[in-house]
Structure 1
Amino acid sequence: MSEQERMPSAIVAALGLTQIIGYGTLYYSFSILAPDMAEEAGWTVDAVFAVFSVALLVGGLAAPVLGSMMDRFGARGMMALGSLFAAFALALCAYSASASVFIAAIILLEVASSMVQYQAAFATLVQFRPMVAAKSITYLTLIGGFASTLFWPITSSLHGLYTWREIYLFYAVLNLAVCAPIHVWVMRRKPVEHAGAESMTGRREVHGVLRPDRRRVGFYVASAAFALQGFALSSMLVHMVPMLTQLGLGAAAVMVSTIFGPSQVLSRLINMLFGQRLSATTLATLAAMMIVGGIVTLLVSGGWIAGAAVFALLLGLGSGVNSIAQGALPLHLFGSNGYGSLTGKMAAIRLSAGAAAPFVFAALTENFSMTVSLAITAALGGLGLAGFMILGHLALGSARNDTLRGTE
């Protein structure tokens, strides 16, 4: 096995740790701390989630620009800069003395997220060794799946001892002291194939399965499908603990929520061991089926703890595979050339849809009912499932046409 066909295990492990911290501090902690933020500011919880939604939207709109910069300057350097940016934004939020500074800090947090979370990490792995990027992405998401398992309980425990500002300040130090040095170390590692450059030049590329005439349609269908799944997942993840509490689980809500993280890890472990022969379109379809199935289970079971546990299990399984698909499906369909820019554009659409989810779900729940909110979320997830099935058909059609041309 040549060096370019060997997975960079040390880099995958290092990035895995930063993904746990990045998602834990910048994403999963928010829903637990949001009520305190609202109470201190004299706002409604809906208003705080509206700010979060706007921030997600801005982060999504920034994703194409950041993706292009990753292609041009290298994703590894972007991650190193992003860790410093994340620490600054968390500290700014902790010290914010006015509503305008608080809103600006939350927006900066989401821009920083696009620089340090999966989009940037996947681009780093594709740029470093494209031939094994799909495998590396699977292992990376396996490690990153522990983020919610660790940070929901950690944030809940800290919440009982410290203010939300003190917690955010601690998380700023964590990004600065742990993530930034790791990303600098990764940035200094040079690919064996072309040690003097950050570009793809001189290294083998992965070619996508879609024919050129189907790529535009494939891009829009894939982007829409991921956007719909992103809306469903964002609605559930941001509101997980308060939603289960409202359904009547009480103190058991946090315990049930912790099932989500191990389920993500389990799905990625199963895929790593047995799913290597499954196509990326099949993985995305299976992920959507599990996400929708989990939401429907919660819709039907209500406050029944066993039903909530099945919901968290299925949502975690689906989310785990969906994270792999977000990195592997664009590589499979479109190839490694321009990967950062392409995934940046897809992320913009996905994150823009996901940006509306926290506020829309909270507003639907407050003005209608939890049942209506869950039903609408499940229906949108179902449309995403249909999109992935269409992509599978497009990919299969391209493969058949290539086979026919090869036999002529």
Structure 2
Amino acid sequence: MKQIWSRRHDPWIMVWPLALAQMISWGCIFYAFSLFVTPLIADLGWTRQALNGALSLAFLTMAATAYPVGRWIDRNGGRGIMVVGCIAAGGLLIAASRVTEPIEFYLLWSCLGVCMACILYEPAFIVITQVFGFGAKRGIAAVTLLAGFSSTLFIPLIEFLLARYGWQDTYIILGLILLFLAAPLQWLFIPPKTIATQHDTALDQQRRGGFSLLKLCRRPVFWGLVIWAAGNSFMITGVLFQLVPLLKSAGVSVRDVVLCMTVFGPLQVLGRIAVMLFAHRIGTATLGTLTTIVFPLGVLVLLVAPYELVWLCLAVALIGAANGIATIVRGTAPAEWIGLTHYGKVAGAITVPVLIAGALSPSALAWVWQHHGAPAMLATILCAGLISAGGYAFARAYRDNY
């Protein structure tokens, strides 16, 4: 046992507690938001559009801090900033249980956006890439494999807590989970500082001397990845945060809503298991191309099929599988197509427009839904998927081979 403890920072020991912390963080913050919408509207009288505005603000503050966070982790490692972010997020969720005015809710979620930039996938991917180098694909697949159960576990859990204890006590419980489970896991197992110079190629070593954001912006592969990832973010954020309210407003039973949404996690996991098993045979380019086909197909099912359980499960299954693989591609493509050197800064630069797209998605889609109806909203999500597919094809055409 002592030998295992002394090796807790080794890649394949560290990765599983980090994955568990990711599962908890996504469930308590990201997946929880849409489940609080109906209780907050009923109790406080706020509008759906006002609540979605708070989420959009959170994504904007997350975007504003994504690049500085990536730069910090490049220089100092991820443990300190991820632990502090997790502790702050737990405290903010507890504080959210006492909000009475929209301005308070907006302020809390603007701060939670900063916390999300410090604790969700992007900083975790940087840490994994630093530790694993070009073997990061399997490490990222492992983390996202376990984190993929987040929606499956936390959506039913939060629905139960809301029904049993109400939204205020549920916020407190989620905050305590972050404080006493996620934060300690990250402190104990993430290495204090991990710089992956040992994984650099000869070209990386030549580039290590400096980093120019302007030079990065001149590379077509960078913009292709930005368009792909931003379109993907707009699409998945729209589905995750509008589908539950959409189905409830259409008269779908709570049971069927929960059943179809719980399919999302397992299908994410199945996609990631496939990547872990066949990572040595299937390249990043092929994986990403697959997601650009399957993702819009799932949205198309939502658009044209009736709101029956079998069709809803099929649509969520397609979207879940595609998102599960796309998350891995988002972490590995910059390293493989642009290089490991300054990976944190590159990932942070890509993340900024991705988060802006995610920030715009809930409010923009809520506006489309309110003024033009649900079919127009789903068609907008589908268009984002097609634009995303074009961006990926562009990045693939101009990629570097490492």
TM-score normalised according to structure 2 size: 0.90
Corresponding residue of 2:361: 357
370, 383, 386: which one aligns with 1:366: 370
Q: How does 1:362-401 map to 2 (within 5 A)?
A: 362-395=366-399, 398=400
* Pair 1:129-2:142 in alignment: no
Question: Per-residue deviation at 1:136?
Answer: 0.5
The alpha carbon displacement at 1:362 in A equals 1.6
Tell me the residue number matched to 2:168. 165
Q: Which moved more, 1:97-106 or 1:289-298?
A: 97-106
Are 2:50 and 1:47 equivalent residues in the alignment?
Answer: yes
Q: Deviations over 1:37-75 (max 9, x none)?
A: 233332211111111112111211211111111112212
Q: Give 1:84 shift.
A: 1.1
Residue 57 (structure 1) aligns with: 60
Give me the whole-angstrom Cα distance separating, in 1, the residues matched to 2:168 and 2:71: 34
User: Aligned match of 1:270 in 246, 249, 274?
Assistant: 274
Which residue matches 2:199?
204
CA distance in 1, matches of 2:21, 2:140: 14
1:37 has 2:40 as partner:
yes
CA shift, 1:222, in A, is: 0.5
Deviation at 1:205, TM superposition (A): 1.7
Distance in 1 (CA, whole Å) between partners of 2:39 and 2:128 is 38
Contact 1:28-1:152 within 8 A present in 2 as well: yes
Provide the residue aligned with 1:405 in structure 2.
none
Residues 350, 92 of structure 1: alpha-carbon distance in 2 compared, 3 angstrom cutoff: same
Q: Secondary structure at the match of 1:162?
A: helix
Residue type of the partner of 1:115? C
Shift of residue 213 of structure 1? 9.1
Give me the CA root mean square deviation.
2.1
Say how many residue pairs are matched.
Answer: 383
Distance in 2, Cα, partners of 1:288 & 1:21:
28
Q: How does 1:7-406 map to 2 (within 5 A)?
A: 8-187=11-190, 189=191, 198-201=194-197, 203-205=198-200, 216-251=219-254, 252-395=256-399, 398=400
Whole-angstrom CA distance in 2 between matches of 1:98 and 1:256: 33
| Counterparts of 2:134 and 2:218, CA distance in 1 | 21
- In structure 2, runs of 5+ residues without a counterpart are 1-8, 208-214
Deviation at 1:300, TM superposition (A): 0.9
Q: How big is the shift at 1:125?
A: 0.9
Amino acid at match of 1:199: I
1:336-369 per-position Cα deviation (integer Å, ceiling 9, x unaligned):
1111111111111101001111111122112111
Give, as a single letter, the amino acid of the residue that structure 2 aligns with 1:233: I
Measure the CA separation in 2 of the matches of 1:238 and 1:41. Answer: 20
TM-score (ref. length: structure 1): 0.89
Q: Deviations over 1:62-118 (max 9, x none)?
A: 111111111122122221111111112212222334432221111111211111111
Letter paired with 1:204: H
* Counterpart-to-counterpart distance in 2, 1:393 and 1:105: 42
SS of equivalent residue, structure 1 residue 29: helix
For residues 98 and 298 of structure 1, the distance between their equivalents in structure 2, rounded to whole angstroms, comes to 35
CA shift for structure 1 position 131: 3.8
Give CA deviations for 1:125-161 in whole Å, capped at 9, x if unaligned: 1122314222201111111100011111111111101
Q: Quick check: 289-298 or 102-111, which moved more?
A: 102-111
Corresponding letter in the other structure for 1:170: I
The whole-number CA distance in structure 2 between the counterparts of 1:162 and 1:46 is 25
Residues 9 and 215 (structure 1), Cα distance of their counterparts in 2 relative to 1, 3 Å cut: farther
